[in-house]
Structures are given as structure tokens and as C-alpha cells.
Amino acid sequence: MDAIVKNFPGTQEKQARPTQQEAEEAVRVLLRWAGDDPSREGLLDTPKRVAASYRELFSGYDLAAEDVLGRTFEEMSGFDDIVLVRDIPFFSHCEHHMLPIKGKATIAYLPSGPVLGLSKIARVVEIFGRRLQTQENMTAQIAQAIQNTLKPRGVAVLIEAEHMCMEMRGVQKHGSHTLTTTFTGEFKTNAAEQARFFTLARNR
């Protein structure tokens, strides 16, 4: 768990962010690397657009899951059965090639007192998705963030995703899906709770 926490990019000391001008210059270099001419008319504003779109696609670095998960509802604390949000769509980017990952996350927890606003579960997916990721780390980070902040009896996270680095290039396997899971607490130690998670996650 320590290793995962240390790998949260948001918790590390931030490196100084390059200027907008430096980012745009880097895009010009990549345009030339691709074989095009950054000074042709159609590409003149592209570095600016790419820099702006990177701020959006990687906005997760500026957000902390703890801030989002800190807001809970105590008044529903009588409820102690599974809360499961299924098929939360997300986009991320793989840390190896910076190519898109398209997937959906199913997240459940067993409350032990406070419950989360449902949108906060989806927001946690955004926070970790909008960073450079591996699917394994993203799955574990979501589970640990909910476990550490809410302290429920257990958390279950299932992610199913397609990696463009495997589809558009390299091995070029279109339509292959990768599934990863992380279980904490009772979802890890109690086979019946884990089976219930899978039943609810797959029940169409």
C-alpha cells in the first residue's frame, strides 16, 4: 500500500511546470518529428490547441482525491450494505506511450458509517484517469483513495479498458479488453461479498 501511495503523482513534490511557450515549442518539435511543417497554415495554432488540451486531459494532477472524498453524508449511516456504481466511463493515457486508454470502472464499497455522494465516486475516476497511468495502478489508486479516506468495511474496483497503444500500433490487437480488479477489506477476505460484487457488476 505504501508503494501505491508514494506513486500518487499528486502527493509528490511538484516539479516546476514549463511555460506555455515551452510546451508549444515541444509540440512544434513533435510535429517536425512526425514529418510535417509546423509553419504551414493549418498547423499554426496547433501547438496552442495541444497545450490547452493537455491541461484538460491531464487535469487530474491538480486534483486530490482526498478533497473530493472528504464530503460525506452521515445521516444515511444506518445503511451498511453494498453501494455499487457500475460502468463509469473514462479516458486515460498510458504512461508508456501517452496513447489513450478508453474504459469503464465499476466501484463498490461496504459503508461503515458515512456514505459518499454518488458523483464523488465518478469524480475519483476522473482524478486518477486524467493522469498518465497503467491500468493496474489506476485500479489500485482508486481503491486505496476510497479506503483511506472513507474507511469503509471494504472497497471493490473493477476496470475494463481498451489500450490504443495495443490497437493502433505495436501488436495491433483491435477490440481486446483488459480487466483489472482491486479488493480491500471484506471484499478481499470474504468470498461471498466478492461474489456478490461480481454478480452486481455483471448483472445486465
Binding residues: 94, 97, 165
Partner in contact with 18, chosen from ligand GTP, Zn ion, none, beta carbon below 5 to 8 Å by kind: none
The residue (of 101 and 145) whose beta carbon lies closer to Zn ion is 101
Indicate which single residue of 65, 88, 94, 155 sits in contact with ligand GTP (rule: CB under 6 A): 94
Whole-number Å distance between alpha carbons of 90 and 51: 21
The residue (of 92 and 149) whose beta carbon lies closer to Zn ion is 92
Q: Is there a catalytic annotation at residue 41?
A: no
Whole-number Å distance between alpha carbons of 51 and 37: 18
Residues 6 or more apart whose Cβ sits within 8 Å of residue 113: 74, 77, 151
Cell of 14: 511538484
Q: Is there a catalytic annotation at residue 97?
A: yes
Q: Is 163 helix (H, G, I), strand (E, B) or coil?
A: strand
Indicate which single residue of 120, 153, 163, 196 sits in contact with ligand GTP (rule: CB under 6 A): 163
Site string for Zn ion, 95-134 (x = CB under 5 A): -xx-------------------------------------
C-beta of residue 92 within 8 angstroms of C-beta of residue 138: yes
Greatest alpha-carbon span in the chain: 64
Partner in contact with 135, chosen from Zn ion, ligand GTP, none, beta carbon below 5 to 8 Å by kind: ligand GTP
The residue (of 76 and 164) whose beta carbon lies closer to ligand GTP is 164
For the chain, report the end-to-end CA distance as a whole number of angstroms: 33
Rg (CA), the chain: 19
The reply on whether position 55 binds ligand GTP by CB under 6 A is no
The reply on whether position 171 binds ligand GTP by CB under 6 A is yes
Grid cell 511557450 — which residue?
Answer: 21
The reply on whether position 7 binds ligand GTP by CB under 6 A is no
> Vertex 84, ends 117 and 181: CA angle to 5°?
120
HSE-CB at 146 with a 13 A cutoff on CA atoms is 36
Residues 6 or more apart whose Cβ sits within 8 Å of residue 194: 156, 183, 187, 188
The residue (of 171 and 191) whose beta carbon lies closer to ligand GTP is 171
CB of 169 to ligand GTP, least distance (A): 7
The reply on whether position 184 binds ligand GTP by CB under 6 A is no
Q: Name the site residues for ligand GTP (rule: CB under 6 A).
A: 94, 96, 134-136, 163, 165-166, 170-171
Catalytic residues, by residue number, are 94-97, 135, 163, 165
